Amino acid sequence: MSATTVDTATPDAAASGDVLKTKSWKGPIGLGVVALISLLIFGFGTPSGSDTTFVVATSSDFVHLPTLTLPSKIAAIVLSVIALALAGYSAYLANQYRKPGLWLPIVYGMAVMGALLSWAGAGRDNTSIQITGLLTSSLFLAVPLIFGALAGTLCERSGIVNIAIEGQLLAGAFFAALMASMVGNAYVGLIAAPLAGALVGAVLAIFATKYWVNQIVVGVVLNMLVIGLTSFFFSTVMSDNPDLNRSLGLAALPIPLLSSIPIIGPVLFDQNLLVYTMYVVVIVFQIMLFKSRWGLRVRAVGEHPKAADTVGIKVNRTRVRNTILGGAIAGLGGAFFTVASGLAFGKEMTAGKGYIALAAMILGRWSPRGALAAALLFGFADALRVQLGIIGSDIPSQFLAMFPYLATIFAVAGLVGHSRPPAAEGIPYKK
Amino acid sequence: MSATAVTEAPQQPQTPSRAKQVLREILESSTLVVIMAVVASLIIGAILIVIADEDVRTASAYFFSRPGDTLSAMWDAIWGAYTAMFQGAIYNTRADTFAAAIKPFTQTLTMATPLIFAGLGLGIGFRAGLFNIGAQGQIIIGATLGGWVGFAWDLPGFTHLLVAVIGCALGGAIWGFIPGFLKARTGAHEVIVTIMLNYVALNLLSYLLSLEAFQREGQNNPISPTVAENAQYPLLLGSQFPLHWGFVLAIACAFGVWWLMERSTLGFEFRAVGANPRAARTAGMSVAKGTILVMVIAGALAGLAGSAQVLGTEKNLTLDIAGSIGFDAITVALLGRSRPLGTVLAAILFGGLKASGPSLQVLAGLPVDIVFVIQATIVLFIAAPPLVRSIFRLPAPAHEKEVAA
């Protein structure tokens, strides 16, 4: 993979390494274009005189929030104009060599999505947009992506490319279902899943560090191998003994008080153990990776292994440990598909989620916090696809399904911010 | 990707005896590693077969009283599975006529056809240092465009097939151009872009199949009309065999790729860019041009793989048109060391594994998925020769060659 590290001599790539600050107009332009499209399609495209109903309340809230009915056209136009104004503000910041805070893309995203929803829900009197339901399923659908992206981040920060996230998720899903069914307790699945993922991670680590095999090759092939193995056992051993593949589910554990806050409560604090584990894992690794000695060492190994080795850090040992740890985390995410969703294992049931997780990792710029945000965005796109399908929108669901992939292509092409992988990623370390 | 350059084992300067030297060369050769990797994978396959077999499990319950039962049940399971595979992929010993007996082999070649096309394309990419994971998407877009020409257009005689095949190649080439262009202009990593484009292609096809223009009349399933007779590849050996002219085109492409990579200036540039992009640039070659061209050619070849599917084997468009060919082709190119001849042979091997699926299901009662396992383990072993050498206690070559991909 020596070719990938060579920069293609564009002025852009050369400039990004400079100490001099450069004005980056790509972000503001991108935001502006999307906001304009939103204004044209959602704002002016909505028939006037129709209303959109947003439902935010659920039965268990303390305070019952009223149902919100807005005139669709005006709401969509106002929200699009807000988005446009934010794009303008980010252009102003770019001109001053400053970068907008995290709040800007979040508020911007909410404005555009709000415009989209009021356009999609316009004039549908029987159906309303279920905001809380939408957010809850966004978070839930994002869970495997978050775990997967976090696994990718841990591996790649130490210099190992982990394309095998898909395989790790699938292995985790399979083993969680198998062990949970054997013992008869869904929580056993949460212990079994990381073991299977770690095993896949270990194979990747050995091939990458001991045999110096191209990591992308190993990743792709491991995905095939896991698909083959799990499908094989699914169609033979599991179908011969249905007891080995039962649908057991983790119960939702509402946190007292917190779970009755409107909107936030049901979305964040009325979930199952896997989701709560996800909160902890993301926070722990965000701190560990960037604030601890361990994190500094991992990043050193990923950026400049020779320098790390010189000061006595065991490069390959660090990589092997991180890859196994990453595999375990992805495996835990795999438990989402079976025990956390209350489903039995099915053939190839991860359906490419591992690759979306990879995309979330890139979009999140190789940090747990970013991975969380990107995965939530993708989860939201997925949930929106389902919701729009229910209210019968005109947007073909396939285009919403494409969104994560297109967003990632734009991200790696440098159209949305600049994504730079760890420098030593994918290069075997040979003394 | 330095790896694709696998050279002959270097000659030893001091040679004790001729026979010993020959033996040593055989033991050190990379061909033996390939053979041993296949053997090791078949052994792993055998283990899976044993685990899945009902009789073995029953017999193993009383293993300590009568171990012979377990062993013979194991042997029966393995023997049954592998003979079923042989009969499904090469020669059906139970058939009455020779034509019927040899039919499985023509099926193998038919299955190998798209793998040859796509494997050749990926091989060019690997040698130029580009990791193209996007054959799947390129096949889908190629098959979509060519298939659409096939069923929606009406052209006389042979021209219809010609235009449809060109459509397939064009579709694939467009889908290959995108990552090539992005890589050349922005440095976007081709692995990521091609993976994402695979899913974009699948969703695009899914959308198109929901449109009236792509819908077969009287069908609600996403399936297109059948490709016009004119636009289908003619059968090569008559109506009793599935093999079509796409196979001949694939072999011709293999020659073409060999000529391109080994004899033409362009191919030399591709290889130079792959081996050392900085040196290539210093020598006045355009890395950007090379990158884009390689991806376009690889895409066009993958698109032709789509033509083998939509104009040859399947004859209509469905969501499953590309099957797992895009990913299988990666293993084919790796196994074939990215060389045209190796790719053709590897494609026939994996085509045979695929072709054996139905007979494995019917005769041995085993799911097709075992084929994926065997395929994946073969490639894993091939990629790590030291592993194979240590399993089979083969001597390491005098100079450990770098074989990564």
Range of the structural domain that residue A40 is part of: 22-127
Please name the residues between 57 and 116 in chain B that touch chain A, using a CB distance below 8 Å: none
Query: Does the pLDDT of residue A168 top 70, yes or no?
Result: yes
Answer yes or no: do A40 and A178 share one domain: no
pLDDT greater at residue A396 or residue B315:
B315
Q: Are residues A122 and A216 in the same domain?
A: no
Whether residues A237 and B52 touch (CB distance < 8 A) is answered with: yes
- Crossing angle of helices A215-233 and B30-52, rounded to 10°: 30
Indicate whether A11 belongs to any domain. Answer: no
* pLDDT grade for A126, boundaries at 50, 70 and 90: low
- Whether residue A29 lies inside any domain: the answer is yes
Q: Is B404 on the interface with A (CB under 8 A)?
A: yes
| Same structural domain, A91 and A172 | no
* Domain shared by A254 and A349, yes or no: yes
Tens-level pLDDT at each residue, chain B (405 residues)? 444 444 444 444 555 677 777 777 777 677 788 888 888 898 998 888 888 877 777 787 788 888 888 888 888 888 888 888 888 888 888 888 888 888 888 989 999 999 999 999 999 999 998 888 889 999 999 999 999 999 888 888 888 999 999 999 999 999 999 999 998 888 888 888 998 999 999 999 999 988 888 888 777 778 888 888 888 898 888 888 888 899 999 999 999 999 999 899 888 989 988 888 888 889 888 888 989 999 999 999 999 999 999 998 888 898 888 888 998 999 899 888 889 999 999 999 999 988 888 888 888 888 888 888 998 998 888 888 888 888 888 877 765 444 444
What does pTM read for this prediction?
0.85
Q: Which of A77, A93, A127 is the last residue of a domain?
A: A127
Contacts with A, B 3-22, CB within 8 Å: 3
Q: How far away is chain A from the Cα of B373, in angstroms, using its nearest Cα?
A: 5
List of chain A residues whose C-beta atoms are within 8 Å of the C-beta of residue B371: 228
Cα–Cα distance for residue pair A426/A408, rounded to 1 Å: 20
Whole-angstrom CA distances from B84 to B76, B354, B378 are 12, 12, 20
**A10, B185: Cβ pair inside 8 Å?**
yes
Torsions phi, psi for A17 (to 5 deg): -85, -5
Asked which of A127, A155, A189 is the last residue of a domain, the reply is A127
Q: Is A15 on the interface with B (CB under 8 A)?
A: no
Q: What is the Cα–Cα distance from A22 to A14, expressed in whole angstroms?
A: 11
Q: How high is the pLDDT of residue A13?
A: 43
Q: Is the pLDDT of residue A195 over 60?
A: yes
User: Could you tell me how far CA B239 lies from the centroid of its own chain?
Assistant: 26
| Residue written as token pair 């609600």 | B220
Q: Same domain for A106 and A151?
A: no
Domain count, chain A: 2
Subunit contact A405:B199, Cβ cutoff 8 A: yes
- Residues from chain A contacting residue B185 (CB–CB below 8 Å): 8, 10
Residues 6+ apart with CB under 8 A from B219: none
Domains plus CATH for chain B? 111-354 (1.10.3470)
In a domain, A426, yes or no: no
CA distance A398 to chain B (A): 5
In a domain, A360, yes or no: yes
Residue A4 lies in a domain: no
By C-alpha distance, the chain A residue nearest B134 is A220
CA-based nearest distance A270→chain B, Å: 33
Same domain, A171 and A108: no
d(CA A430, CA B232) in angstroms, rounded, equals 52
B295 interfaces chain A, CB cutoff of 8 Å:
no
Could you report the per-residue pLDDT of A96-120, keeping only the tens digit for each?
877 777 778 778 887 888 888 888 7
| Burial (CB count <10 Å: 0-12, 13-18, 19+), residue A194 | buried
- φ/ψ of A348, rounded to 5, equals 45, 45
Q: Diameter of chain B by CA atoms?
A: 77
**Domain annotation covers residue A417:** no
- CA-nearest of B134, B139, B135 to B321 is B139
Residue A95 or residue A199, greater confidence: A199
Q: Looking at residue A211, which CATH number applies to its domain? A: 1.10.3470
In sequence order, the β-bridge partners of residue B244 are B235
Residues A85 and A179 in one domain: no
User: Average pLDDT, stretch A198-217?
Assistant: 90
Residues A26 and A148 in one domain: no
How far is the C-alpha of B350 from the C-alpha of B38, rounded, in Å?
11
Is residue A178 located within the same domain as residue A315? Answer: yes
User: How would you list the strands of the sheet with A129-130, edge to edge?
Assistant: A68-71, A51-55, A129-130
**Which position has the higher pLDDT, A312 or A99?**
A312
pLDDT exceeds 70 at position A27: yes
**Which residues from chain B sit within 8 angstroms of residue A405, using beta carbons?**
196-197, 199-200, 203
